[in-house]
A and B are shown apart, each in its own frame.
Chain A
Amino acid sequence: MLRITGGKVYDPANEIDGQIKDICIDDHGQIVDSVDGGRTIDATGMIIFPGGVDVHTHVAGGAMNFARAMTPEDHRRTQAFIRTKNRRSGLGGMAPTTFATGYLYAGMGFTTVNEAAVPVLSARHTHEELADIPIVDKTTLTLMANNEIMMDQMEAGEYERAKNVVAWYIWAAKSYGVKAVNPGGVAAWKWGADAKQLSSPIAGYNTLTPGKIVTMLATICDDLGLPHPMHLHCNNLGAPGNISTTLDTLKHLEGHRAHIAHSQYHAYGGDGWDTMCSATAQLAEYFNTHPNITTDAGAVLFGDTVTITADGPWQHLLYKLTGRKWGNLDVENETGCGIVPYTYRPSNLVNAVQWASGLELMLLIKNPWQVFLSTDHPNGGCFWRYPEIIQLLMCADFRKECIAKLPDKIKGRITLPEIDREYTLYEVATSMSAGPARALGLTQKGNLGVGCDADIVIYEEEDDVARMFSHPRYVIKAGEIVIEDGDIKETPEGREFLVKPNYAPETHEFMRPLFEDCYTMQFDNYPVELERIENPVMQPLKLEK
């Protein structure tokens, strides 16, 4: 039992904006009206937020491991976690190791993360790694938009079957929802092609187009009643002028719920690298008039990182542009993956435009319930640098100082210098916790109301925003104090949220021959058993009636 008194509470889910309010936590790690006895934390002069929720990150699985293996140079220079009584050893850096990932997220006040890209084939591995990420709760999304068995059903116009297949896959991967990456493009990459036009047939198919996949998959997610809508990485990521593709994609989503991942990478104007500019104003305008769609920023921070995505063709292009290391994984008939270490430099005009675009989206989209804090970790920057973004959002003067350091040629390519908006603490709490939790359909997260999970972060109020957000005074996870005075006290295991969408029972046997025709593993070994998940929690579906 725990009582937190005297702190200024920012709880957007209950429209509490800085009021001083007591918070009580029972022995089950839930917030309650009152408690008798137990410890009391005097939070006078402190700020209380619901624990952070990362709506889009990459922290576990085959690709992440590949990235770790590819960047030994980063391991040598990065923060090392030395083993102590209650902490395992590990490394921070661009692609932190499993245990360190938990320590770093919790150390920053984040208590829930969504691993946004899991191929079914490596789901088992991913869950094993997630079990090794302590403290934080987890969800995973299954990569679907380039799955050939599903695409074949879509091509044949078999909507019901496609829906059953998707539902079967979600449960086979023990995941929480659907991720679509470059729909059709990764499948085309296996033919050496990409899919940049939503209306052109995908290589290897006669009539199926990326646009059809987008619409059908969004419909499937809605019909299955998934708590989180389709999580979409649009086609044509990173390319100058891709705003037209992105807007076209959004038109294919009319009438559906959807979450657009890392939209910064999809909001460029111009027609080549020389003329690339920010087109965030157009994209923000769309979000401002379409409340059914949420997004996360995918903001970029200058410095070293490693880019990881299922978007294999884009990673090959990035490798060609940089001449650095390149990793490519083929995930049989499901998806692909590319890994390229990258350095974002302020002196590089393209990088400068990307840096500005991420912030512009967060500032131009008016409703903080629609746009969430993310760097698409580790693609735009490492998650442990989120406090730097919060500082850029909260302090217009600091932003201006940073803009002044960009090359002169940036003028006219970005709109950031004209934006004066500053995030309030209430908006920050919405964008880093309440908003992403609601978008994920995690009703018990990002909310300090009675009955919700007691995931709470308490900051000492100070002027240096970046410092404040990177050094919480207390972090409470499921009612347990995990961080106190900047030290990790406890490292409890996190939970994993799963959904079991309904599918026709015969789907399993329908899949078997299709699978056994072309996969390298036995069908019966393919689905992940529920026993493989540590601390699973079934999240209800959003079905009408």
Chain B
Amino acid sequence: MTITLTLKQAPAVPLEAEVLSPDVFAELSNAEIRALIVYNGKRQVPLEEFFDVDGERSDELVLHGDLTKVRLIGRGMSKGSVTVHGRVGMHLGAHMKGGRIEVHGDASDWIGAEMKNGFIHVHGNAGGQIGAAYRGSLAGMKNGTIIVDGTAGLEVGMRMRRGTIILGGQAKDFTGLQMKGGTIILMDGAEIRTGAWMNRGTIISMKPIKLMPTFAESNDSNPTFMNVYARQLKRFGVNLPFAASEGIYQRFSGDLAVPGNGEILVWQPA
């Protein structure tokens, strides 16, 4: 049993809809769901003004439509699933504690920001600040996994403390900015200033990337943790090479400007 929501009309101004969460919907009847309050700009309106709602009392949500301007979907959710068919707006799964979010389309900025746990998979492209800390906060995502099949924007994993972010496409500048832990895997590399101010954590790039002068090359190796990682990531359809016959990882440590103990591993195929 799922609850299906279909967007009737794209809102002209952002629609803040943190009620679109399995935790909220789980015990509600169809009528109660339709009456939930969302913020259309500064106006409070019932959910049904923007969505057709089919189903009730379930923690599996399916959303259809161009949700580019619908923000905060799955905010703080702890269970169940949200599946989006279409584009989705900012702050998707921010602060989430558990459950799954899957987007068949593109996502915007701040997905999984400050998330504690859970799983987000975006099949299209995403914006910036994935799994990041909000402005002023000390730490971004604390655990969980975010996969983006396509490209990503600025400041991916900014101040993340733990957890994994995997990007199929290229990321823009400042990937892993001020990173404090966790792992970012770049299957298609990133633009400039990767790992700036990183303190700890690991960035793995499958493509050569431009590094800042404050990263020092330390050694080339195939770290043993890589095959454990690779096996874990296989179930997400990610193939991380680890065998010496295939190539070797070049390791850079930094950011020495902080100074930090982070590492960037860049794959050198044999």
List chain A positions with a Cβ less than 8 A from chain B: 70-74, 76, 324
Contact = CB atoms under 8 A, between A and B. Distances in A.
B245 interface: no
Interface string B134-168: 11111000000000000000000000000000000
Most buried by B among A70, A76, A324: A76
B138 A72 contact: no
Contacts of A70: 136
Contacts of B136: 70-74
Contacts of B134: 72-73, 76
Nearest to A74: B136
A72 B137 CA distance: 8
Contacts of B137: 73
Q: Which 8 A-B pairs have the closest CB atoms?
A: A72-B136, A73-B136, A73-B137, A72-B135, A71-B136, A73-B134, A76-B134, A70-B136
Nearest to A70: B136
A73 B136 CA distance: 5
A74 B136 CA distance: 8
A70 B134 CA distance: 13
Interface in B99-156: 134-138
Range of interface residues on B (Cβ < 8 Å): under 10
A324 B135 contact: no
Question: For A73, A74, A324, which residue has the most chain B Cβ atoms within 10 angstroms?
Answer: A73
Given A73-B137, A74-B136, 11 more contacts: A70-B136, A71-B136, A72-B134, A72-B135, A72-B136, A73-B134, A73-B135, A73-B136, A73-B138, A76-B134, A324-B138
Interface of B: 134-138
A199 B206 CA distance: 64
Contacts of B138: 73, 324
Contacts of A74: 136
Nearest to A76: B134
A279 to B, nearest CB: 33
Contacts of B135: 72-73
A73 B137 CA distance: 5
A9 to B, nearest CB: 46
Contacts of A73: 134-138
Nearest to A69: B136
A229 B259 CA distance: 47
5 contacts: A70-B136, A71-B136, A73-B134, A73-B135, A73-B136
Nearest to A77: B137
B96 to A, nearest CB: 16
A484 B213 CA distance: 63
Nearest to B135: A72
Nearest to B139: A73
A509 B136 CA distance: 46
B37 to A, nearest CB: 14
A242 B135 CA distance: 37
B197 to A, nearest CB: 12
Nearest to A75: B136
A455 to B, nearest CB: 36
Nearest to B133: A73
A70 B135 CA distance: 9
A470 B153 CA distance: 47
A68 to B, nearest CB: 11
A127 B153 CA distance: 44
Contacts of A72: 134-136
Contacts of A76: 134
Nearest to A343: B138
A396 B138 CA distance: 36
A73 B139 CA distance: 10
A73 to B, nearest CB: 4
B230 to A, nearest CB: 34
Nearest to B199: A323
A72 B138 CA distance: 11
Chain A CB within 10 Å, residue with most, of B134, B135, B136, B138: B136
A74 B135 CA distance: 10
B95 to A, nearest CB: 10
Nearest to A324: B138
A412 B135 CA distance: 42
A70 B136 CA distance: 7
Nearest to A325: B136
A324 B138 CA distance: 8
B33 to A, nearest CB: 25
B59 to A, nearest CB: 26
B258 to A, nearest CB: 10
A324 B135 CA distance: 14
B200 to A, nearest CB: 13
Nearest to A72: B136
A200 B136 CA distance: 40
B113 to A, nearest CB: 11
A303 to B, nearest CB: 15
A297 B212 CA distance: 49
A76 B72 CA distance: 14
A76 B75 CA distance: 14
Contacts of A71: 136
A416 to B, nearest CB: 31
A123 B134 CA distance: 33
A350 B137 CA distance: 24
A375 to B, nearest CB: 22
A290 to B, nearest CB: 44
A73 B138 CA distance: 8
Nearest to B95: A76
A57 to B, nearest CB: 23
B250 to A, nearest CB: 30
A389 B137 CA distance: 28
A71 B135 CA distance: 9
Contacts of A324: 138
A432 to B, nearest CB: 33
B112 to A, nearest CB: 16
A265 B186 CA distance: 49
A348 B186 CA distance: 39
A240 B134 CA distance: 36
B150 to A, nearest CB: 29
A333 B175 CA distance: 42
A74 B134 CA distance: 11
A296 B136 CA distance: 32
A78 to B, nearest CB: 12
A74 B138 CA distance: 11
A340 to B, nearest CB: 13
Nearest to B137: A73
A324 B180 CA distance: 13
A352 B218 CA distance: 42
A70 B138 CA distance: 12
B39 to A, nearest CB: 13
A244 to B, nearest CB: 36
A76 B134 CA distance: 10
A70 B137 CA distance: 10
A76 B137 CA distance: 10
A462 to B, nearest CB: 35
